[in-house]
């Protein structure tokens, strides 16, 4: 008998609930029907999946089958979700995962340009760090990703934007006071004057002072909005690109050190072995 998704769902529920009765209640089926489906799966596999008839302890093979069940059912659920999204938005859906600074500074213009021709396309945006963006692309939770990386680690045709990193600080803090001295040149040593608010971009700065401040840092955030709020409230300074600072932030300033200058690129990524949908391909071109 071939494997069927229903067999895997039933087995997964029994394994997680620990008994036929609890699984039957969760699946809204009779215990005898659940037992029959389990028997069919066991016959198909060709070896026992549970240690005892009580169904509360898996065999080593059963543990492996349970892992594969999660993969199979998760993949199926993502496929049905994609279909439902297309039903809800007849013109299609584009799922975007972007680092927070790109979500704030770059995506608004890209979305505005895209909507000039595709106003009826549904856009789903999530802002996460670069590692999470990559995971979402790999697990098909996003169609297009935007990540931060160093200029040497990118393919030129995938680069959307190159910008410089600098120190973002409060205008009434110690860094601002130091920079009022006309003999003080902007440098990364300024970060010694205030607590560092860490974020993933800090690790792109190849400077011993930044590395040492990261090792003792007690405050970290990933959202650009949160980072800027902390800086405005004089909780410390952080590292961001200039274009991450939004209008209306009267108590936030930016300085670009040159010892060394640090550049980052925003790069678009996708699953290389899977074609984009037509509308996602259009957004890729807009980027």
* pLDDT per position as a tens digit, 115-173: 998 888 889 999 888 889 999 999 888 999 999 888 776 566 688 888 899 999 999 99
Task: Compare 22 and 197 and report the one with higher pLDDT.
Answer: 197
Q: For residue 144, what are the β-bridge partners?
A: 96
Does this model's pTM top 0.85? My answer is no
Tokens of 1: 């008998």
Residue 228 has pLDDT above 50, yes or no: yes
Dihedral of alpha carbons 13, 16, 20, 26, sign: negative
**How many angstroms separate the CA atoms of 53 and 42, rounded?**
13
Task: Compare 196 and 102 and report the one with higher pLDDT.
Answer: 196
Kindly state the percentage of the chain with pLDDT values over 90: 42
What was the pLDDT predicted at 247? 66
Q: How confident is the model at residue 252 (pLDDT cuts 50, 70, 90)?
A: very high
What was the pLDDT predicted at 89? 47
Query: Contacts by 9-13 with C-beta closer than 8 Å and gap 24+?
Result: 9/69, 9/73, 10/34, 10/37, 10/38, 10/41, 11/37, 11/38, 11/41, 11/49, 11/65, 11/66, 11/69, 12/66, 12/69, 12/70, 12/73
Q: How many helices (H) and strands (E) does the chain have?
A: 11, 9
**How many angstroms separate the CA atoms of 50 and 70, rounded?**
17
Given the candidates 1.10.150.120, 3.60.20.10, 3.40.190.10, 3.10.20.90, the CATH classification of the domain at 161-263 is 3.40.190.10
Average pLDDT, the chain: 87
Residue 55 has pLDDT above 80, yes or no: no
Looking up tokens 């026992």 gives 48
Q: What is the greatest pairwise CA distance in the chain?
A: 84
Task: List the Cα angle 126/73/92 in 5-degree steps.
Answer: 45
**How many angstroms separate the CA atoms of 28 and 189, rounded?**
64
Question: Which alpha helices (H) appear in the chain, and where do they start and end?
Answer: 5-17, 20-27, 31-45, 60-88, 100-105, 107-115, 130-138, 174-179, 208-216, 224-232, 278-286
DSSP state of 195: -
What was the pLDDT predicted at 14? 87
Torsion angle of C-alpha atoms 54, 57, 60, 62, degrees rounded to 10: 60
Q: For the chain, which residues make up each domain, given as ranges?
A: 5-73, 88-160+266-286, 161-263
CATH architecture entry for 5-73:
Orthogonal Bundle (1.10)
Tokens of 142: 């996003």
Q: CATH top-level class for 88-160+266-286?
A: alpha beta
What was the pLDDT predicted at 86? 56
What was the pLDDT predicted at 155? 66
Question: Of 121, 128, 35, 38, which Cα lies nearest the Cα of 85?
Answer: 121
Tokens of 36: 């029959």
**How many angstroms separate the CA atoms of 98 and 96, rounded?**
6
């Amino acid at each position: 008998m071939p494997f069927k998704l229903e067999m895997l769902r039933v087995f997964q529920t029994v394994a997680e609930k620990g008994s036929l009765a609890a699984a039957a209640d969760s699946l809204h089926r009779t215990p005898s029907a659940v037992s029959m489906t389990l028997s069919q799966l066991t016959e198909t596999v060709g070896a026992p999946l549970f240690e005892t008839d009580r169904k509360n302890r898996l065999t080593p093979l059963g543990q492996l089958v349970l892992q594969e069940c999660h993969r199979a059912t998760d993949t199926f659920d993502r496929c049905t979700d994609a279909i439902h999204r297309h039903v809800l938005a007849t013109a299609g859906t584009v799922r975007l995962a972007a680092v927070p600074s790109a979500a704030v500074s770059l995506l608004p213009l890209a979305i505005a340009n895209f909507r000039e021709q595709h106003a009826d396309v549904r856009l789903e945006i999530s802002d996460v760090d670069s590692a999470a963006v990559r995971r979402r692309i790999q697990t098909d939770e996003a169609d297009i990703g935007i990540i931060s990386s160093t200029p040497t680690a990118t393919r030129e045709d995938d680069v959307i934007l190159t910008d410089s990193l600098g120190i973002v600080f409060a205008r009434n803090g110690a860094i601002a006071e130091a920079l009022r001295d006309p003999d003080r040149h902007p440098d990364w040593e300024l970060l010694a004057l205030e607590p560092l608010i860490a974020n993933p971009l800090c690790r792109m700065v190849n400077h011993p002072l930044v590395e040492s401040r990261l090792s003792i840092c007690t405050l970290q955030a990933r959202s650009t909005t949160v980072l800027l709020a902390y800086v405005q409230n004089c909780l410390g300074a952080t590292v961001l690109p200039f274009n991450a600072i939004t209008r209306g932030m009267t108590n936030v300033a930016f300085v670009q050190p040159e010892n060394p200058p640090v550049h980052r690129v925003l790069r678009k990524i996708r699953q290389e072995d899977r074609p984009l949908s037509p509308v996602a391909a259009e957004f890729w071109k807009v980027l």
